Amino acid sequence: MREKNYITASCAISNHIVYKNEHPVFESAHANAKDFLLSIYNHFDIKYPKFYKMDALSKLGWLASEVLLTASLKQGTYEPDQVGVILTNANSSLDADLKYFESTKEFASPSLFVYTLPNIVVGEICIRNDFKGENAFFVQETFDTGFIEQYVDNLINNNILQACICGWVDVLMKDYKAVLFLVEKKPKPQSRAFTKENMEKIYQIQNGHINS
């Protein structure tokens, strides 16, 4: 029988609203993604100067992971190699690619080039939290909750990981959407079962414009 795992926390960022565990925790009507992301950073009073250097995809995914993990994952609960990150999106690093390409007209910017890979956001989350477990980035047309359920269940049930941050992080110009889940073996109060139906419900909380 398939062992059950649990979504012990979730975070969704889309359409000017940040949700933690399905409740809105911050809202800010900014015209563009860049200002909105900065307002989230300021609102939650995070002090991490490296944030400013990140591209939009990394900022979005990293902020979503900060909101996801605050008060939901106590430091020291797991060893570094027991926690992994599995993310997906449709636009890969296209937003960063465009900005880097722009810079090549005059002087190619190394700090922009660094972000022209979609998995750098995984790297940023791992650096921040010292997560050294298995990690991956898949490029898919739409958020495939069935795929994530199967993939992450396999990692946790086979003890390749004890906990996993997984989900969807996508940005392209003014469109953005991040939906992250913290998946663990044991439930906590107000956890949901880790199923594709539950991930789909949380994903649909607010429909962004990316690939809708």
Partner 1 sequence: MDTLIADLKRQIVDQLNLVDIKPEDIGDDQPLFIEGLGLDSIDALELIVLLQQHYKIKLANAEDGPKVFYTVKTMADYIRANQPKIA
Partner 2 sequence: MFVAGVGIISAIGNNAAENLTALELERPGISDITYLDTIHRNTLPVAEVKLSNESLANSSGLSKTTSRTALLSTIAAKEAVHNAGIENFASLRTGFISANTVGGMDKTEHFFTEFLSNNQKGKLRDVMHHECGSISEITADALGIKNYVSTISTACSSSANSIFFGARLIEHNILDVVIAGGTDALTKFTLNGFNTLMILDPHYCKPFDENRKGLNLGEGAGYVVLVAEKIATTLKQKPYCRLSGYANANDAYHQTASSPDGMGSYMAMKNALAQSGLHPADIDYINLHGTGTQNNDVAEGTAIKRLFEPSFPKMSSTKSFTGHTLGASGGIEAVFSVLAIKHGCIYPNLRFETQMKELPFAPELKFLKNQKVDHVLSNSFGFGGNCTSLIFSKP
- Helix axis angle for 196-203 and 145-157, nearest 10°, is 130
Instruction: CB nearer to partner 2: give 55 or 184.
Output: 55
Return the number of other C-beta atoms located less than 10 Å from residue 171's C-beta. 28
Instruction: CB nearer to partner 1: give 3 or 106.
Output: 106
Distance of alpha carbon 110 from the chain centroid: 24
Q: Residue 123 belongs to what H/E stretch?
A: helix 120-129
Residue 190: partners with Cβ closer than 8 Å, 6 or more residues away: 21
49 binds, among partner 2, partner 1, none (CB under 5 to 8 A by kind): partner 1
Which has the closest alpha carbon to 138: 174, 114, 165, 169? Answer: 169
Partners of 17 in beta bridges? 14, 27
Give the one residue of 8, 21, 135, 198 binding partner 2; rule: CB under 8 A: 135
- Contact between 156 and partner 2 per CB under 8 A: no
Nearest approach, Cβ of residue 137 and partner 2 (Å): 5
106 binds, among partner 1, partner 2, none (CB under 5 to 8 A by kind): partner 1
CA separation, residue 109 to residues 92, 96, 104 (Å): 19, 11, 7
Give the one residue of 23, 52, 141, 189 binding partner 2; rule: CB under 8 A: 141
Residue 177's Cβ-side half-sphere holds a number of Cα atoms within 13 Å equal to 22
Cα 36 to Cα 67: distance, rounded to the nearest angstrom: 15
Nearest approach, Cβ of residue 22 and partner 2 (Å): 28
- Contact between 138 and partner 2 per CB under 8 A: yes
Give the one residue of 2, 107, 158, 159 binding partner 1; rule: CB under 8 A: 107
Nearest approach, Cβ of residue 168 and partner 2 (Å): 14
Return the range that interacts with partner 2 (CB under 8 A); candidates 1-9, 59-67, 120-128, 195-203: 120-128
Give the one residue of 134, 185, 195, 205 binding partner 2; rule: CB under 8 A: 134
Q: Which residues bind partner 1 (CB under 8 A)?
A: 49, 52-53, 106-111, 114
